[in-house]
Amino acid sequence: MPRRAGTGAGPPRAGSGAGPGIERVFREEYGRAVAVLARVFGDIDVAEDAVQEAFTAAVQRWPHAGVPPSPAGWIITTARNRAIDRLRKEASREDRHAQAALLHAADAPAEEGPVRDDRLRLIFTCCHPALAVATQVALTLRLLGGLTTTEIARAFLVPEPTMAQRLVRAKGKIRDAGIPYRVPHEADLPERLKAVLAVVYLIFNEGYTASSGDQLIRPELCQEAIRLGRLLAGLMPDEPEVTGLLALMLLIDSRRDARTAPGGGLVPLAEQDRGLWDRDRIAEGQSLVRACLRRNQPGPYQIQAAINAVHSDAPTAAATGWPQILRLYDQLMAHTPSPVVALHRAVAVAEVQGPAEALRLTGELDLGSYYLFHAIRADLLRRLGRPGEADQAYRAAIAATQNAAECDFLERRRRSLGAAES
């Protein structure tokens, strides 16, 4: 049976005079509209096509008729009506798929419905454990973020046909395998929520330290992750880890402008111009951290946010409250013991107890393929006056990263060792 493969097109290219209004509405309302329509028709492809069609209609209509009072409501109603018209035609040609979608729509409540729950359902569907993590990320960006296939492909440096294929396959699996469109039951919620938060944080991290390519930071991915984080925090105000993740992303992102030198090179935290930090982001992040702490249900995202809040508090690198950071890392290790957490804890140990103890701790970690492991050891060895070993560690770190700005930074560090020696 031939299937429409969700077009994955972006905001309809407005001709003359459609203005930026439609593109803004597209970015803000695409996810909401797809979520509602997916519930109504029980099918993501039908929902995407319908929403796309409604935006195309908006491009034709809004420039002269004006933007309606409730743009989202207009899009959803138009999408629903046009989809029903088209499905009726297809259903009369014995298209079982169209018949099923129509039946589904007949059972669904006619009003816009609880939009809140629709987007939550869609997030949990996109992040279902039966889908590979890379697929969860792509689907979330596509369906909730309204990013085009081209944009997602570019962000992850994947050829566009590959990304298009991945999305088509994922939507096919959701439909054919019967991945349910609902918020998980209470018993499964903690595990499933963890997967959702992991996807959002993965999007943020890919934006913050692009795992490959020439650019250190892809701000559009960070923005998108924060937008998703805000959405989740609004939908699940009683989950402190959701708030914790939002706070964590805001606090890390506050340092974005200070993190790259004018030439695009990486500037480490200790050397950043703190005047470039985004005070609004810091204020928002810190107030969210305080709100979390009051609930007293700590989790890994909240603790990491608290660590970043301590950094944000310090007017200079030297004034950083390292003992407090170390205590928070101890807490994080108790919650989620992992070699990567232990590595970051070692950095705090170096400040509180000295680099020798920190180096001893990193020696126990099996992280040989992780560039940061070598980079941190290189720095500790340098501080301990062991330039030969530091040089080797920098070389290992350079070999383990594909990000050009990171490579460049590590190479400069390595060379400055040589300068000190000679």
Partner 1 sequence: MKQYLLSMYQPQGDPPPPEILQPIMQKLGVIRQELQDVGAWVFGDGLCSPDTATVLRSQGGEVLVIDGPFTEGKEYLGGFMIIKVPDLDAALDWGRRYAETTGLPMEVRPFQSEAPD
Rounded to a whole number of angstroms, the minimum distance from the CB of residue 75 to partner 1 is: 29
Query: Is 177 an interacting residue with respect to partner 1 (CB under 8 A)?
Result: yes
Q: Please give the Cα distance from 283 to 250 (Å, whole number).
A: 9
Pick the closest to residue 28 from 70, 82, 80 (CA basis): 70
Q: Which of residues 113-142 bind partner 1 (CB under 8 A)?
A: 128, 130
Q: 212: part of which helix (H) or strand (E)? A: strand 212-213
Between 27 and 175, CB nearer to partner 1: 175
Between 183 and 288, CB nearer to partner 1: 183
Between 126 and 305, CB nearer to partner 1: 126
Q: Which of residues 344-383 bind partner 1 (CB under 8 A)?
A: none
Q: Please give the Cα distance from 34 to 30 (Å, whole number).
A: 6
Between 66 and 178, CB nearer to partner 1: 178
Between 28 and 191, CB nearer to partner 1: 191
3-class secondary-structure state, position 61: helix
Length, in residues, of the chain: 422
Rounded to a whole number of angstroms, the minimum distance from the CB of residue 324 to partner 1 is: 42
Joined tokens for residue 145:
């973020």
Between 69 and 178, CB nearer to partner 1: 178
Query: Is 264 an interacting residue with respect to partner 1 (CB under 8 A)?
Result: no
Q: Which of 178, 315, 363, 385 binds partner 1 (CB under 8 A)?
A: 178
Rounded to a whole number of angstroms, the minimum distance from the CB of residue 163 to partner 1 is: 24
Between 130 and 132, CB nearer to partner 1: 130
- Residue 213, Cα to own-chain centre: how many angstroms? 18
Pick the closest to residue 51 from 20, 22, 74, 75 (CA basis): 75
Q: Please give the Cα distance from 275 to 277 (Å, whole number).
A: 6
Q: Which of residues 137-176 bind partner 1 (CB under 8 A)?
A: 176
Rounded to a whole number of angstroms, the minimum distance from the CB of residue 179 to partner 1 is: 5
Rounded to a whole number of angstroms, the minimum distance from the CB of residue 177 to partner 1 is: 5
Pick the closest to residue 142 from 48, 232, 268, 241 (CA basis): 48
Cβ neighbours of residue 156 closer than 8 Å, sequence gap 6 or more: 134, 137, 138, 163, 206
Q: Please give the Cα distance from 336 to 304 (Å, whole number).
A: 11
Q: Which of residues 187-206 bind partner 1 (CB under 8 A)?
A: 188
Q: Which of 145, 184, 299, 355 binds partner 1 (CB under 8 A)?
A: 184
Rounded to a whole number of angstroms, the minimum distance from the CB of residue 178 to partner 1 is: 4
Q: Which of 161, 180, 237, 388 binds partner 1 (CB under 8 A)?
A: 180
Between 188 and 273, CB nearer to partner 1: 188
Pick the closest to residue 144 from 209, 17, 269, 51 (CA basis): 51
Q: Are 71 and 29 in contact (CB under 8 A)?
A: yes
Rounded to a whole number of angstroms, the minimum distance from the CB of residue 184 to partner 1 is: 8
Number of residues binding to partner 1, judged by CB under 8 A: 9
Q: 56: part of which helix (H) or strand (E)? A: helix 44-65
Pick the closest to residue 353 from 333, 330, 371, 334 (CA basis): 330
Q: What letter does residue 104 receive in the DSSP assignment?
A: H
Rounded to a whole number of angstroms, the minimum distance from the CB of residue 212 to partner 1 is: 33
Return the number of other C-beta atoms located less than 10 Å from residue 251's C-beta. 27
Rounded to a whole number of angstroms, the minimum distance from the CB of residue 189 to partner 1 is: 12
Rounded to a whole number of angstroms, the minimum distance from the CB of residue 131 to partner 1 is: 10
Between 179 and 197, CB nearer to partner 1: 179
Q: Please give the Cα distance from 151 to 155 (Å, whole number).
A: 6
Between 54 and 98, CB nearer to partner 1: 98
Residues forming contacts to partner 1 in the complex (CB under 8 A) are: 128, 130, 176-180, 184, 188
